[in-house]
């Protein structure tokens, strides 16, 4: 086919039967039926609105034949019809025709008679001007738009990143506006490679994290028999999870075929990490003398652990029950009960230490190397970075949790004996794990066999299930001295660097500080000072390493106690949460990439992206009845967990598809998704984005059940779960909007025809979430409208992302055409029927 931007065919049925349907065929070397195009009944003036496109992999050439067939509809309900006539033409004939318009006769099957005439003419996309479409309003006509060129599908795919979005299906419609003009509407639905790639990366990270957790537990050193047996049980459970995840990963690597998980496979165990029916949908609207508009939505089945069932509820209910049981288990296993916020903080500290220690070490080496080059400004820049990272490191370890956890770990060592008198060790290092017997022993604690219970006297010991123990024989100030040594070492490095710069500038203004007099002297040559700097840097690295190791052991002991309390459920709760989060993250990554590519040329959007982040608004249509309650409870936790995710934009190594695939890194408490962009797109970004600034995405969830089960729930059941979710997420959305208005000017936000103020929309939404009203879909409509007004990412979900989801998406699309593009009210229902066909 010659290179044309697009080929659009308005088709006019000059002799139209009373009831008619039309079918297109495409002929390459082998005939293929492309689709049943459209049908209308009960009129001699049918208006066929549905369009069709040829995907990029279809063999369309200049010699390709296109066949049009017209049928008379006898019974639409029983889908019976009779063939009336057909006609065919080649792409070459059409392109070479005068004014690129063909008049074709519809011939019977035996070619014995003419039953009608069709006129096919080409119209370029965007050429819908006054006077050019008058012929569409003739008495007997039917307007059909059909994309014949590969180029349009390809260009749309480019805007959606063809490396991530595949197998696009396009439909084209032409609708009349209130001023009798015509708009062109193009729908494109695509599959997403992230449906599988993100979950597979996450599973690999889960395996890596749990393997590291096992090593951290082993690195705790020697523990009492009681704690050692508990540690072995936890390691055994982690080994079991790792084995299951490895098997799942092997099965996923074998899969070929569609890039989405169909709803019929939602109960399969090895697919539990894969989102259901994840697709992207874009509606592009072209109106006369106006810029094209895009409306995007991601459709996906509600993130839920279908393979594990919902007999006992979903994650929200199970987690609440788990916290209650954990308190009793902590008493039974002689553990300290740590509330969820404490264990979350322990994981955060572990993550911060793991990230900052190697970073500080690398900066220290870089500082020493820069000092050898006698370059003032680079030396000062590296020192500033080292100072910032070290301060972050010290600040993270000031938390009382680390200090108290070290005390608890000390009590779990073999031979630990509590004393009534304070006896602080003089050594700054950790107490000997085999201390000698004290002069006045009181009782032995946490040094019992795993199958035994502590002696009766030990119940008076400081180890309690509801509080952090404080053992007086252990120097509680030792930890403060240890992490403070890091700051002192850094101060020594800073002082010496200052002296080096003074020497290099021949500007010695003052003598060295008194505290460094034995190390630094004003008459020392610069070379000697640089050697001394190497000694100080080595000391700093050793201090950081020692502090990091102690902190790592302490928080690992906190997490050991949490794991001990959860072994009764076999860590199934964590597996369920992993699977649900995997589905949610795959959908979020898909939506983020789609939104990013759509806004690459929007400076206001890019400013908002790095200043305050984006809102990801999940619309759920689940009922609060039966199993769907459990699904909604799973979804609530999965969407909430997305707040632990940040995005970072990077430059792709090449233009190849594999280099443009997003990647995931991190641990369960914090993940980063890196989105690579082609060189030309990356270089056009603002500095903040090119420098790799972490980008926030704020997830919010609004749910309104709309099916018949919700009717039962509202009359006889409980809808408090839905009410709580909507109220909670409204507060989150309202908080984001306040931050947005304080940071980003209103000019950065998109413009809409409907001039309702966002603040007014928020107030109305706030009133609706507290109003007792059955199936209050106004909540979903308002939340979706606000999301689009603030450049958010839209998601729509139900159980399987099929019936309810498609009804919601098509209704929203037609409403947008009506409100934003003046769709003629007489076409609203007809447009809705076309999109749902």
pLDDT at 252: 95
Distances (CA, A) of 649 to 201, 672, 686, 688: 18, 10, 11, 10
Any domain includes 255? no
Residue with tokens 């690195």: 219
pLDDT in tens, 308-358: 999 999 999 998 888 877 777 777 677 788 888 888 888 888 888 888 889
For the chain, the distance separating the N- and C-terminal CA atoms, rounded to the nearest angstrom, is: 30
pLDDT exceeds 50 at position 507: no
Any domain includes 422? yes
* Cβ atoms within 10 Å of 746's Cβ, excluding its own: 11
Any domain includes 229? no
pLDDT at 445: 38
pLDDT exceeds 50 at position 456: no
pLDDT at 80: 67
Rounded to 10 degrees, the C-alpha dihedral 636/641/646/651 comes to -80
pLDDT in tens, 791-825: 999 999 999 999 999 999 999 999 999 999 999 88
**Residue where one domain finishes, among candidates 138, 171, 192:** 192
pLDDT in tens, 384-402: 899 899 888 888 888 888 8
| Residue 14 buriedness (CB in 10 A; 0-12 / 13-18 / 19+) | middle
pLDDT exceeds 80 at position 508: no
pLDDT exceeds 60 at position 665: yes
Same domain, yes or no: 367 and 503? yes
Residue with tokens 């949908």: 281
Q: Going by DSSP bridges, is the β-strand pair 663-667/645-651 parallel, antiparallel, or unpaired?
A: unpaired
Domain housing 703: 571-798
Lowest mean pLDDT among 75-79, 412-416, 502-506: 75-79
Side-chain-facing half-sphere of 149: CA atoms under 13 Å: 20
**Residue where one domain finishes, among candidates 520, 537, 567:** 567
Any domain includes 820? yes
Q: Is there a catalytic annotation at residue 748?
A: no
* Cβ atoms within 10 Å of 109's Cβ, excluding its own: 10
pLDDT-based confidence at 417, cuts 50/70/90? Answer: low
Q: Going by DSSP bridges, is the β-strand pair 114-121/11-13 parallel, antiparallel, or unpaired?
A: antiparallel
Q: What percent of the chain has pLDDT over 70?
A: 75
- Count of domains in the chain? 4
Whole-number Å distance between alpha carbons of 681 and 660: 12
Same domain, yes or no: 823 and 674? no
Same domain, yes or no: 392 and 513? yes
pLDDT in tens, 729-768: 999 999 999 999 999 998 888 888 777 899 999 999 999 9
Whole-number Å distance between alpha carbons of 435 and 433: 6
Mapping DSSP to helix (H, G, I), strand (E, B) and coil, where does residue 1 land? Answer: coil
Q: Going by DSSP bridges, is the β-strand pair 670-677/645-651 parallel, antiparallel, or unpaired?
A: parallel
Average pLDDT estimate for 353-373: 86
Same domain, yes or no: 727 and 590? yes
Any domain includes 646? yes
Any domain includes 407? yes
The kind and range of the H/E element at 235 are: helix 225-254
Tokens, residue 474: 């252990």
Handedness of CA 490, 491, 496, 501 (dihedral sign): positive
> Could you tell me which of 622, 587, 645, 595 has the C-alpha nearest to residue 788?
595
Same domain, yes or no: 727 and 837? no
Average pLDDT estimate for 442-465: 38
Same domain, yes or no: 677 and 755? yes
Handedness of CA 785, 763, 728, 706 (dihedral sign): negative
Same domain, yes or no: 788 and 808? no
pLDDT exceeds 80 at position 154: no
| Residue 815 buriedness (CB in 10 A; 0-12 / 13-18 / 19+) | middle
pLDDT-based confidence at 75, cuts 50/70/90? Answer: low
Three-state SS string across 110-161, please? CCCCEEEEEEEECECCCCCCCCCCHHHHCCCCCCCCEECCHHHHHHHHHHCC
pLDDT-based confidence at 465, cuts 50/70/90? Answer: very low
Order of strands, sheet of 80-90, starting from the edge strand that comes earlier in the sequence: 11-13, 114-121, 101-107, 80-90, 65-75, 20-27, 31-40
Same domain, yes or no: 645 and 783? yes
H helices of 333-399, in order, are 340-372, 376-397
Whole-number Å distance between alpha carbons of 140 and 116: 12
* Cβ atoms within 10 Å of 230's Cβ, excluding its own: 24
Question: What does pTM read for this prediction?
Answer: 0.77
Any domain includes 673? yes
Same domain, yes or no: 757 and 828? no
pLDDT in tens, 98-148: 777 788 888 888 888 888 777 776 655 444 444 343 333 322 223 333 333
Distances (CA, A) of 250 to 245, 246, 255, 608: 9, 6, 9, 40
Whole-number Å distance between alpha carbons of 662 and 593: 9
Average pLDDT estimate for 446-462: 39
CB 11 within 8 A of CB 39: no
| Maximum mean pLDDT: which of 322-326, 511-515, 592-596, 833-837 | 592-596
CA 734 to chain centroid, in Å, comes to 21
pLDDT at 503: 67
Distances (CA, A) of 395 to 345, 483, 486, 509: 13, 10, 11, 33
* φ, ψ at 468 (rounded to 5°): -85, 130
Same domain, yes or no: 36 and 150? yes
Candidate list 492, 798, 814, 834, residue with the active-site label:
798
Any domain includes 329? no
Whole-number Å distance between alpha carbons of 54 and 686: 38
Same domain, yes or no: 81 and 169? yes
Tokens, residue 819: 């409100």
Whole-number Å distance between alpha carbons of 361 and 712: 62
Beta bridge partners of 121: 101
**Residue where one domain finishes, among candidates 567, 586, 610:** 567
Same domain, yes or no: 559 and 641? no
pLDDT-based confidence at 476, cuts 50/70/90? Answer: low
Whole-number Å distance between alpha carbons of 53 and 6: 10
């Amino acid at each position: 086919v010659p290179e044309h931007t697009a080929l659009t065919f308005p088709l006019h049925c000059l002799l139209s039967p009373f009831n008619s349907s039309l079918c297109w065929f495409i002929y390459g070397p082998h005939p293929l039926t492309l689709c049943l195009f459209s049908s209308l009944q009960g009129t001699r003036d049918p208006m066929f609105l549905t369009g069709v496109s040829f995907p990029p992999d279809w063999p369309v050439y200049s010699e390709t034949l296109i066949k049009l067939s017209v049928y008379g509809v006898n019974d639409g309900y029983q889908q019976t019809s009779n063939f009336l006539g057909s006609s065919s033409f080649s792409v070459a004939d059409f392109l070479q025709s005068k004014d690129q318009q063909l008049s074709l006769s519809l011939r019977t099957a035996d070619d014995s008679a003419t039953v009608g005439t069709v006129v096919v003419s080409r119209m370029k996309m965007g050429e819908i001007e006054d006077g050019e479409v008058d012929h569409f309003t003739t008495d007997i006509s039917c307007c059909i738009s059909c994309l014949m060129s590969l180029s349009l599908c390809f260009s749309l795919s480019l805007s959606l990143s063809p490396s991530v979005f595949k197998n696009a299906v396009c439909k084209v419609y032409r609708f009349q506006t209130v001023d009798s003009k015509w708009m062109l509407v193009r729908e494109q639905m695509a599959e997403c490679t992230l449906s599988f790639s993100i979950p597979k990366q996450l599973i690999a990270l889960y395996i890596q994290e749990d393997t590291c957790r096992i090593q951290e537990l082993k690195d705790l050193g020697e523990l009492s028999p009681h704690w050692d047996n508990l540690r072995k049980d936890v390691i055994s459970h982690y080994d079991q999870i790792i084995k299951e995840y490895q098997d799942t990963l092997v099965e996923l690597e074998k899969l070929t075929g569609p890039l989405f998980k169909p709803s019929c496979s939602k109960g399969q165990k090895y697919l539990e990490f894969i989102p259901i029916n994840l697709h992207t949908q874009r509606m592009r609207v072209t109106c006369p003398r106006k810029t094209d508009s895009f409306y995007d939505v991601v459709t996906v089945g509600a993130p839920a652990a279908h393979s594990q069932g919902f007999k006992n509820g979903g994650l929200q209910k199970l987690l609440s029950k788990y916290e209650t049981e954990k308190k009793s288990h902590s008493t039974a296993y002689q553990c300290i009960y740590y509330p969820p916020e404490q264990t979350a903080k322990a994981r955060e500290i572990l993550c911060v230490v793991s990230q900052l220690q190697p970073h500080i070490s690398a900066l220290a080496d870089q500082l020493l190397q820069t000092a050898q080059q006698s370059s003032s400004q680079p030396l000062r820049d590296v020192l500033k970075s080292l100072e910032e990272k070290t301060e972050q490191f010290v600040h993270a370890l000031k938390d009382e949790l680390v200090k108290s956890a070290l005390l608890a770990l000390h009590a779990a060592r073999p031979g630990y004996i509590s004393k009534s008198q304070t006896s602080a060790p003089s050594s700054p290092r950790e107490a000997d794990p085999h201390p000698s017997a004290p002069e006045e022993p009181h009782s032995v604690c946490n040094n019992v066999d795993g199958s035994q219970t502590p002696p009766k006297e030990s119940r008076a010991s400081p180890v309690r299930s509801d509080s952090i123990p404080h053992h007086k024989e252990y120097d509680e100030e030792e930890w403060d001295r240890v992490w403070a040594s890091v700051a002192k070492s850094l101060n020594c490095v800073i002082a010496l660097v200052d002296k080096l710069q003074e020497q290099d500038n021949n500007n010695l203004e003052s003598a060295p500080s008194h505290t460094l007099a034995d190390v630094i002297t004003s008459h020392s040559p610069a070379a000697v000072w640089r050697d001394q700097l190497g000694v100080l840097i080595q000391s700093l690295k050793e201090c950081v390493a020692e502090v990091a190791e102690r902190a790592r052991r302490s928080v690992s002991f906190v997490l050991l106690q949490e794991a001990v309390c959860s072994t009764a459920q076999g860590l199934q709760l964590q597996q369920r949460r992993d699977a649900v989060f995997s589905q949610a993250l795959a959908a979020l990554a898909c939506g983020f990439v789609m939104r990013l590519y759509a806004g690459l040329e929007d400076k206001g959007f890019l400013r908002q992206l790095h200043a305050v982040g984006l809102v990801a608004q999940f619309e759920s249509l689940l009922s609060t009845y039966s199993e769907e309650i459990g699904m909604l409870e799973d979804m609530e936790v999965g969407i909430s967990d997305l707040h632990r995710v940040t995005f970072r934009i990077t430059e792709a190594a090449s233009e190849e598809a594999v280099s443009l695939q997003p990647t995931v890194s991190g641990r369960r408490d914090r993940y980063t998704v890196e989105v690579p962009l082609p060189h030309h797109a990356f270089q056009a970004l603002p500095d903040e984005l090119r420098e790799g600034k972490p980008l926030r995405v704020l997830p919010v969830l609004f749910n309104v059940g709309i099916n018949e089960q919700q009717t039962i729930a509202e009359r006889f059941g409980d809808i408090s779960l839905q009410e709580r979710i909507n109220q909670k997420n409204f507060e989150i959305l309202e908080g984001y909007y306040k931050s947005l208005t304080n940071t980003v000017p209103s000019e950065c936000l998109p413009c809409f025809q409907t001039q309702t103020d966002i603040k007014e929309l928020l107030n109305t939404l706030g009133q609706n979430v507290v109003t007792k009203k059955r199936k209050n879909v106004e909540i979903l409509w308002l939340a979706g409208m606000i999301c689009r007004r603030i450049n958010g990412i839209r998601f729509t979900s139900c159980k399987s992302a099929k019936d309810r989801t498609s009804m919601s998406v098509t209704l929203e699309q037609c409403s947008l055409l009506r409100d934003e593009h003046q769709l003629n009210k007489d076409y609203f229902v007809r447009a809705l029927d076309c999109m749902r066909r």
